[in-house]
Amino acid sequence: MQDDWLNAKRDKSDITPKSLDDFQAVLDNSNTLNKGYPTLGMISTDNLYLPDNILGSVSERERNAYSWAKDIFNGSASNEFASPYIAIGFCNIVLEGTRSIKPTDVQTAQLTNIKGQALFHRAMSLYNLSQLFCKPFNPSTAGSDLGLQLKVSSDPNEKVKRSSVKETYEFIISDLKQAITLLPEKQLYTTRPSRKAAIALLSKVHLSMQDYKSAADAASTVLGEKPVLLDFNGDKVKSLATYVFPPYSNQMVNEEIIFFAYGMSLVSIWPVNNVGFVDPLMYKSYHANDLRKTLFFKTNVDGLAKFTGAYTGTFYNFSGIATNEILLVLAESLARTGQTAKALGLLESLLINRFKSGTYQKLSIPDDQVLATILEERRKELPFTGQLRWEDLRRLNQDPMFAITLTKTVNGAKKDLVPNDGKYVFPFPDQEILLSGVQQNER
């Protein structure tokens, strides 16, 4: 990766990116653009179990998120808020700087590629922010619900008011549609977003907006006629290794990955810490012949299972986009638009690659149970990928068929999180409220 321009120099003017190679180097700073995605929402879900006797081992904000406290950050800074906005700032530097470049014929493709990458990264950061700091998209209230600060300037001191949720999603979609016209079909690295990655993210955005036809159209474009899926029986998955999927730097590439990104490190979800575990009931829900039960999790002497199956191939949680997720986006969207046979066929194309060879039995379920089955398998397939379970809980709460009340016991006290509770929206950090004067979220 190119990062020479980021090295410290004596003259401040010398570190301003000027050439196309400089701007590509900005976007190749993977520590900022690919490694700062929020994971705190995951801790608030029903997938994670933190025993009372080790709650003191995690940070205050993790305890607060886990117990659905009214205040999460208690006056401290929030990396979950700051890191995506830092990435957005990098993107705005690129988008502003490239406006003055008049490319030669040879440089035109490079320039359009760079602009497309910046637009994708900005959209990806905004989408992740929206899943923590905004209400879930509700078509009837999105125009009045508070959204994000939509920053298009590289000036960090510029004050921007909060948009509406509707405006936030429209901005994300606009960035992605532009990116799709600019990005190439393939990139040198999956840390650089491709056209397919932009369409995949667009399918996720439409799903969260309950626009299932648009979600299906985008997901179908990404997957093509025959989606590339890992066979969990194959030699690209090593069940005896600590982390079973190949790391990014490994020559044995995970072919499902469309866009590669890490989540933030948190004590609660790092398997090396032996602190956070998968919910015991969820762990038991995997069939004995389901390879995900042994490839995704490892149990300790107490029988508690911790997640070790990240697509990063390390202890960092995968926060990018992969074929398995987009296949499930398409399956759900088809089921919701009455195409249950196609939806079930897609789901089975995934599951046959997840069970021990020769053990998978075709599903025989009525049409009215297909959607519920897809949602159940989505949870089991993507238990600690990004904040997907948190995103799903938020959007499914709007559907009476799938809204659920979460229950936890924390320090001996029973706690409930009812559907559509204000605590499904995280508060802005106090520092941001003081600096920008924007309205705080109510919890």
What is the reported pLDDT for 253? 83
Mean pLDDT of 210-217: 98
Query: For residue 15, what pLDDT is reported?
Result: 60
pTM of whole model > 0.85?
Answer: yes
Q: What is the mean pLDDT of residues 66-92?
A: 96
Give the pLDDT score at 3.
Answer: 45
Topology at the third CATH level for domain 4-436: 1.25.40
CA atoms within 13 A on the CB side of 219: 27
Of the pLDDT bands very low, low, confident and very high (cuts 50, 70, 90), residue 12 is: very low
Cα separation, 216 vs 295, whole angstroms: 29
At 161 the pLDDT is: 96
The tens digit of pLDDT for each residue in 366-403 reads 999 999 999 999 999 999 999 999 999 999 999 999 99
HSE value, Cβ hemisphere, 13 Å, CA-based, for 328:
19
Q: Is the pLDDT of residue 220 over 80?
A: yes
Burial class of 299 by CB neighbour count within 10 A (0 to 12, 13 to 18, 19+): middle
Nearest to 221, CA basis, from 200, 240, 248, 249:
200
Averaged pLDDT, 422-442: 95
pLDDT at 1: 44
Q: What is the pLDDT of residue 241?
A: 79
Q: What is the pLDDT of residues 178-205, one digit of tens each?
A: 999 999 999 999 999 999 999 999 999 9
Sequence-separated contacts (24+) of 333-337 with Cβ below 8 Å = 333/207, 333/212, 333/213, 333/215, 333/216, 333/219, 334/216, 335/370, 335/371, 335/374, 336/212, 336/371, 337/212, 337/213, 337/216
- Judged on CB neighbours under 10 Å (0-12, 13-18, 19+), 175 is buried
**Dist. CA 66–CA 61, nearest whole Å:** 8
pLDDT at 8 over 70: no
